[in-house]
Structure 1
Amino acid sequence: MRPRYASLLSAVAVCSLILIFFAACGQNTSSQGIDKPNPKLKTVTLTIGEATVKAEVAMTETERNRGLMYRTSLRDGEGMLFVFDRDQQVSFWMKNTKLPLSIAYIISDGTIVQILDLVPYSEEPRPSARSIRYALEVPQGWFGRAGVKVGDKVAIPPL
């Protein structure tokens, strides 16, 4: 009888571990805080010609993935700078983002290579046309109002 008891105990232990694993994998996103805005991130001042932007810096994957989701306001002259570890093609969407935004895709030397307007709540991917190092989101239309255009250089301080 002793071997059966040990086998039964082993089976219970294995089943318990499997249940714990699946419970951990099945956690909903609200327990991970993904349904809340990013906490206020470190900010830098970016200069683009005569214009300046006070931008929060999203450097980690979690910060970049959350971006400006769930934010309720963003004033002209404010934005979020997304910093990538290497040059790469990227794609942004507006899931859970109610603010109308514009995005500038920026290569590693600070040159803006593309500016797009983004539609609130749209899950349509808006890819960069080429590899970039940075993306800057601002209130929709701010680039035009500030006289910023493709080809302009963004002075990005050390991060």
Structure 2
Amino acid sequence: MVMLLSCTKGQQIIPLSIVRQGTEQDVQLSVETAVTAIEQQQGYMHRKEIPDGTGMVFIYKSDAQLKFWMKDTPHPLSIAFIDSAGRIREIYDMQPFSLAVISSTHSVRYALEVPQGFFTRAGIAAGDRLSKESLQAIKTAASLAN
């Protein structure tokens, strides 16, 4: 089954730390969680302002090829597809209101949306990882939502 998700508001806000490979420096974010089907379908729809340093993490129960679009989403976003071990596999930019589907080419467990260009500005790239604490926080958020 293929579910398209738009890029309102998750019920929880958690700190997230991405460790940049080679430097071992952390980039800190404050992210909303999207765990339930309703939260995932709403995503960032209708949000006009999304500050740098914030984002939304979509949390799934199993690995899959994820598909997102930007229907009804006015703010440009970047999306990182993250595997179950917390490694960023792919990063893409998404355009406001676009109906183009952005798909992961790998099976992944999480997707992280941020303001477009934030990953580049922060020096985050494919291969970087969520910290162990961040991965645990995501798992805890998922368990609390169920």
> Could you state the TM-score of these two structures normalised by the residue count of structure 1?
0.74
Say whether residues 1:137 and 2:113 are aligned partners: yes
1:51 partner SS: strand
- Number of paired residues? 122
The higher radius of gyration belongs to: 1
2:112 partner SS: strand
Residue type at the aligned position of 2:83 = I
Q: Could you tell me how far 1:53 is from its partner in structure 2?
A: 0.9
Say whether residues 1:99 and 2:69 are aligned partners: no
Larger RCO, structure (CA 8 Å, separation 6 or more): 2
Partner residue, 1:41: 11
Q: Could you tell me how far 1:39 is from its partner in structure 2?
A: 4.0
Specify which of 19, 43, 46 is matched with residue 70 of structure 1.
46
Q: Which has the higher helix share?
A: 1
Please list the CA deviations of residues 53-109 of structure 1 after superposition, one character each: whole Å capped at 9, or x if unmatched: 100000001100110001121000000000011101110000000000000000000
Specify whether residues 57 and 128 from structure 1 end up closer, same or farther in structure 2 by C-alpha distance, changes over 3 A only. same
Say whether residues 1:152 and 2:132 are aligned partners: no
C-alpha separation between the residues in 2 aligned to 1:127 and 1:109? 19
Say whether residues 1:111 and 2:87 are aligned partners: yes
Q: Which residues of structure 2 form unaligned runs of 5+?
A: 1-7, 20-25, 142-146
Alignment root-mean-square deviation, CA:
1.0
Q: Which residues of structure 1 form unaligned runs of 5+?
A: 1-37
C-alpha separation between the residues in 1 aligned to 2:29 and 2:108? 19
Identity of aligned residues (%): 42
Specify whether residues 40 and 88 from structure 1 end up closer, same or farther in structure 2 by C-alpha distance, changes over 3 A only. closer
Partner residue, 1:53: 29
Q: Which has the higher strand share?
A: 2
Partner residue, 1:12: none
Displacement over 4 Å in runs of 4+: none
Q: Could you tell me how far 1:40 is from its partner in structure 2?
A: 5.3
